[in-house]
Structure 1
Amino acid sequence: MFPSARLLLFCLLNVVMSEKLASVDFEIFGNVQGVCFRMYTEDHGQSLGLSGWVKNTRTGTVIGQVQGPVDKVDKMKYWLQNVGSPSSRIDRAVFSNQRHISKLEIHGFNTRY
């Protein structure tokens, strides 16, 4: 390997390894069941390259967890609070247990039942 290629590889690895990761739990209130909210959440999380899960509750809310780079987790939080699925109505989004993590604890994004 050429010295310049090694230097480039070293720099890229440092950027990737120094990327800050976050984890956050969420609960979404409103008209969020029966409107494909879980499917859209899973699709949006995957499109951002995030890991996590989403699930309906017996009380009519949607809960889940999101993990990934801080900036992408923030984008997902905005989406959960302000966008959602086309037919949903989001009254309130509660985020809890937000923390920095050193590595992903969940791999992939899926719907739980």
Structure 2
Amino acid sequence: MAESKLISVDFEVFGIVQGVFFRKYTQDQGLKLGVVGWCRNTYHGTVAGQIEGPSHKVQQMKDWLRTTGSPSSRIDKAEFKNEKEIKEYTFKSFSIKH
């Protein structure tokens, strides 16, 4: 089976995503899927970050960010930008930045 290419994508999730453990659930989901990257709260009430991994795993993470999130969150929309193929991982794990 051909190994899927590694990709990197930036994300930002809008809605009720702060104060509802969104970052913790995002980190847990990233670790569960085996993608790496980071997420953090922004000053304008969103959660932003970056995901790196095999393209099919990144797609699963994007779907999760778009539709699931944490149990108490309400996702209005998720934006994904700067998707590109990468040669190697930049991050070792999935972390929460403060």
TM-score (norm 2): 0.96
CA RMSD across the alignment: 1.2
Quote the residue 2:43 is aligned against. Answer: 58
Distance in 2, matches of 1:43 and 1:33, equals 16
Matched, 1:26 2:19: no
Quote the residue 1:8 is aligned against. Answer: none
Aligned match of 2:62 in 77, 82, 85? 77
Query: For the pair shown, which has the larger CA radius of gyration, 1 or 2?
Result: 1
Asked if the contact 2:30/2:61 (under 8 Å) is kept, the reply is yes
Matched, 1:67 2:18: no
More helix by proportion, 1 or 2? Answer: 1
Quote the residue 1:45 is aligned against. Answer: 30
- Between Structure 1 and Structure 2, how many residues are aligned? 98
Asked if the contact 2:27/2:38 (under 8 Å) is kept, the reply is yes
More strand by proportion, 1 or 2? Answer: 2
Of structures 1 and 2, the one with the larger relative CO (CA 8 A, separation 6+) is 2
Letter in 2 for 1:43: D
Quote the residue 2:85 is aligned against. Answer: 100
Quote the residue 2:95 is aligned against. Answer: 110
Gaps of 5+ in 2: none
Give the 3-state SS of the residue equivalent to 2:18 in structure 1. coil
Distance in 1, matches of 2:68 and 2:49, equals 16
Structure 1 runs of 4+ aligned residues shifted over 4 Å read none
Asked if the contact 2:4/2:56 (under 8 Å) is kept, the reply is no
Asked if the contact 2:31/2:94 (under 8 Å) is kept, the reply is yes
Gaps of 5+ in 1: 1-11
State the identity as a percent.
Answer: 52
What is the CA-CA distance between 1:19 and the residue it aligns to?
Answer: 3.3
TM-score (norm 1): 0.84
